[in-house]
Chain A
Amino acid sequence: MREMINMIVVLTVLTAFSGGLLAAIQSGTAVKIEDQVLKFQKAPAIAEIFPEATNDPLAERFNVSADGAELQIFPGILADGSKAVAFETKGVGFGGPIGLMVGINLDTDQIIQARVTTHAETPGIGTRAKDDLSFVGQFAGKGLDTNFALKGDNGEIDAMSGATVTSKGVSIAAMQAKELYQKLKPEIIKQIK
């Protein structure tokens, strides 16, 4: 009995201590990590979504509140003068959350381009969502009336063979982007002007 209590106490104290330590370090590095993600993940994605932007979407970013959570919006002015926004949503993939940066034209409500940002997918399998642009390229030019579910779920997006869970995560992120955009569009337009 004594031995069992001893084991329980040691393990509990150890895990509680490590949990506390990790929480402290995570909150200590959160701002720095956010900066790095912006620089190495979001900035390249935005450069590919708005290749000919006449403004600086990164410098002009602003937040809108969505259901209590803040959503970071990157406004872009396209070469033909029309306005667009890009923002990131998350879906759940095989190895954790998958970030999807979606650019939407405010005038036509069409997706300009989408890019995968942060992820923890299996190298060579799920990572194709990011590296092989033919998958996320499917979103380009689609209107927001499109069903972004996978074809197996009666949607219009082709899954990557061998990476169904990853494909589903990206499709969920896209559906979420559509929902958020429809809900927040009035506020986004107000902030852009």
Chain B
Amino acid sequence: MAQSLAKEFTKGLWAEIPPFRLVLGLCPVLAVTKSVENGIGMGIATTFVLIFSNLLISLLRNIIPSKVRIACYVVIIATFVTIVELLMQAYTYELFLKLGIFIPLIVVNCIVLGRAEAFASKNGPVLSIADGLGIGLGFTLSLAALGAVRELLGNGTLTIWGGTPVFEMGATFLPFQFMIEAPGAFVGLGLMLCMMNLIGKK
């Protein structure tokens, strides 16, 4: 049990890390990773939704009729997304303003629905939480990593939390504006995917 628990948890961190291995949920990945802070915020919000939707779907998996399962999953996921949205408005309003429309869009993030359909509907609650936590952390790490690359090259800073940069390139550094724009997100993602595949091959 403990072994499979660890397996379900760690698979999300490398073997099935969402944007790079599963190549799912690219819309928020490309849109919000302008800075590390945005990436971490989006990742945490998604992780919260993943854990609770996985838990609830796994608990209800024998009650939900298979013909309306997708509708049920969407109701459950949308409920948790709205909770996240309200909590972010109440406690981290600045971050909410930056992420804006991409928080409600977690509802249609295929990672969340994908885990519900592929994992939580077939496994027990404890394993499902481990799966949600692993995939969610993997997603957060990927967003933070891509955000770091883009922010560092495009803006010359690194902002972990709270709006003040923890690291700044020297005054002689010319920001590579392209990385902050949408095409830069594709290029950054592609290069990171390529590197991960290179490492995975050995």
Contact = CB atoms under 8 A, between A and B. Distances in A.
Contacts of A7: 65, 67-68
A29 interface: yes
B68 A36 contact: no
B101 A40 contact: no
Contact of A29 (B67, B78, B87, B97): B87
B101 A33 contact: no
Interface string B61-105: 001110110011001101100110011011101100100110000
Contact of B65 (A6, A36, A122): A6
Interface residue range, chain A: 20 to 34
Nearest to A29: B90
B93 A39 contact: yes
B86 A36 contact: no
Contact of A21 (B68, B79, B87, B89): B79
Nearest to A8: B68
A15 B75 contact: yes
Task: Kindly list the 10 A-B residue pairs having the minimum CB-CB distance in the complex, ordered from nearest.
Answer: A36-B93, A18-B79, A32-B90, A29-B90, A7-B65, A33-B89, A7-B68, A29-B86, A40-B93, A33-B90
Contacts, number: 57
Interface in A109-160: 120, 122-123
Given A7-B68, A10-B68, A123-B100, A18 B89 contact: no
Interface in A21-71: 21-22, 25-26, 29, 32-33, 36-37, 39-40
Interface residue range, chain B: 20 to 34
Given A10-B63, A10-B65, A10-B68, A22 B93 contact: no
Interface in B46-71: 63-65, 67-68, 71
Contacts of B93: 33, 36-37, 39-40
Contacts of A29: 86-87, 89-90
A11 B89 contact: no
Nearest to A120: B101
A6 B97 CA distance: 41
